[in-house]
Structure 1
Amino acid sequence: MTTPTRSAVSAFTGTRILFMRIVAVYRHAPALAAVTLAAPLGMMLLFGFVFGGALSGGADGAAYRSYLTPGVLVLVASMGLVVTASTVNADLHSGLTDRLRALPIHPVAMPAGLALAETVTGAVALAAMAGVGYLSGWRIDASATDVALAIVLLVAFRWALAWLGIVLGSAIRDEQMLQQLAPLIFGTIMLSNVFVPTETMPSVVATVAEWNPVSAVVAALRELFGSGTSVAPDASWPMQHPVAAAFGWTAVLIAVAIPIAVRRYSSSQ
């Protein structure tokens, strides 16, 4: 029987401790989770019930809300990017990050604990948003395998964005600049198929939107949940193969963000 190395034990233990720290913060300040849901819930109410009739071409508004819900789920996951970046930035300014660096903690433990906690709390927010979608008329018409794959994709995408948020929060040291960047991030998320099909957009805008990772994940969820729509013959590759594209984008984000995040937490800057 082999004995785990000290670094492996330190990484696991440190990740667990720092995970519990973030969970405790959310437990004692539930309003933080509510903020993550506020904007997507507002979008659901606005687009699903106020603009839904017009956007659906006068058809049944419930059908549009069923189309909209997978997009709003991705919106919830994507908004977590800003929350994670803000948490990292606050830890840097408070000096907590420097104090943790001074402890004998494995370098991967700090970002991994934060990413895991943000993903778990994000999953709770996604479950709540799915409940809102159900009350709005959204129904799943897919096999258990497809539903499980959709859940894995959604959680994996939130995990990838947690790591990307850690990179942004540690790279942008100015808190005001990070706050100014939030609308830009939100605009990038909106430049997608969350609310309307890309076929309705001008050709150049549609091309950009179709290659947006958010669009691939939204299209994949719609397909896996059984609420997908027909794809135009001239659509880009991510729209033709949304599931493969969504997992591919998620893998790329994870592969790029994790090494950068760990390296930044390992440094003394």
Structure 2
Amino acid sequence: MTTDIHPEPTPSVGAAAAARVVFERTIAMYRHAPGLLAVTLAAPLGMVLLFGFVFGGALAGDADPSVYRSYLMPGVFVLVAAMGLTSTASTANADLHSGLTDRFRALPISRAAVPTGLALAETVTGVVALAAMMGIGYLVGWRMDAPIADIVLALVLLCAFRHALSWLGILLGVAISDERMLQQTAPMIFGLIMFSNVFTPTEAMPSVVRTIAEWNPVSVVVAASRELFGSGGVAGVDAAWPLRHPVAAAFGWIALLLFVAVPVAVRQYGARR
């Protein structure tokens, strides 16, 4: 009796070259469907208008509402980056169901090449979305009141956070093969994002909720962005360690996400059939 053995294809194409092909393919998809970027920006833009202008006066209290909008915008930038997680997961899942992923697996390329190319492409589209939202922030009165070095570091932080979430999205999109189940995770992800300091400080939250929110990586990146952009919102002395040292904690969270998501996503990508 003979047994058919289907070994993994031996990579004969450089991982960088293969990743570049996947990157260009994903960018081309967004270029031919610009509405995808508009949909990505629709929800954050609506929240800027809602919280910045409808609820802004009440949330600002006795302060100038424009001060609250300056406080709000860094949180919205992180919101744009975080909401890209679901779109990345959907893209990876769609490739899985269309058979494209299986065709890539049959090629003699490194199994890390395809998810790497997809993660880089999703990061680039996320940066474009962030740039557009920053332009909107400028129109509503947000300004960067910080040294140029801090501004550059804030931009690097936002890009790195989007890249880490791209890998996490790929992991979810490949690990959760059922498309309907993946769609059901979107509200849960949005709820986790909202369980943070994006719109309001954590000081007024109940103790348990405050603790969870202050350790939420979204809250930490938001706090770091506000500090680096000079948008206010300095944490009190009784805040959790991540909010008292937001920049270090934010890069720590990003490193942890990449450390966990990258190897698991690559392994899941190569294991699924």
Q: TM-score range by the shorter chain?
A: over 0.9
Q: Which residue of 1 aligns with 2:52?
A: 48
Unaligned runs of 5+ residues in structure 2 are 1-9
The number of residues matched between the two structures is: 264
Q: Tell me, yes or no, if structure 1 residue 18 matches structure 2 residue 25.
A: no
Displacement of 1:208 in angstroms is 0.3
Task: Show the counterpart of 2:227.
Answer: 223
Cα deviation, residue 268, structure 1: 4.1
Matched-pair contact (CA < 8 Å) for 1:101–1:268: no
Matches of 2:102 and 2:13, distance apart in 1: 22
Q: What is the identity, as a one-letter code, of the residue corresponding to 1:42?
A: G
**Structure 2 equivalent of residue 146 of structure 1:** 150
The CA distance in 1 between the partners of 2:247 and 2:234, in whole Å, is 15
CA distance in 2, matches of 1:215, 1:83: 21
Alignment of 1:113-152 (within 5 A): 113-152=117-156
Which residue type is aligned with residue 130 of structure 1?
Answer: M
Match of 1:97? 101
2:122 partner letter = E
Q: Which of residues 214, 233, 237 is equivalent to 2:218? A: 214
What is the aligned counterpart of 1:196 among 193, 200, 213?
Answer: 200
CA distance in structure 2 between the aligned counterparts of 1:34 and 1:259, rounded to whole angstroms: 31
Letter in 1 for 2:259: A
Q: Over aligned residue pairs, what C-alpha RMSD do you find? A: 1.2
Paired residue for 1:107? 111
Aligned partners of 2:11 and 2:52: how far apart in 1? 50
- State the one-letter code of the partner of 2:73: T
For structure 1, the 5+ residue unaligned runs are 1-5
Q: Does the CA-based 8 Å contact 2:13-2:108 persist in structure 1?
A: no
Q: 2:28 is matched by which residue type in structure 1?
A: A
Off by >6 Å, runs of 4+ in structure 1: none
| Residue number in structure 1 paired with 2:189 | 185
- TM-score after normalising by structure 2: 0.94
The two structures have a TM-score, normalised by structure 1, of: 0.96
Cα offset, 1:136, TM superposition: 0.6
**1:229-259 Cα distance to aligned partner (Å, 9 max, x none):** 2322111000110000000000000111000
Deviation digits for residues 112-160 of structure 1 (CA, Å, limit 9, x no counterpart): 0000000001000000000001111101011111011001100000000
CA contact under 8 A between 2:227 and 2:234: conserved in structure 1?
no
Deviation at 1:106, TM superposition (A): 1.2
Letter in 1 for 2:216: N
* CA deviation string 1:28-55 (max 9, x = no partner): 0000111111111111110001000001
1: CA distance between counterparts of 2:223 and 2:112?
A: 33
Q: Deviations over 1:62-85 (max 9, x none)?
A: 110000000000000000000000
Contact 2:11 2:108 in 1 (8 A): no
Identity across matched positions, percent: 69
Structure 1 counterpart of 2:83:
79
- Aligned-partner residue type, residue 85 of structure 1: A
Q: Which amino acid aligns with 2:153?
A: L
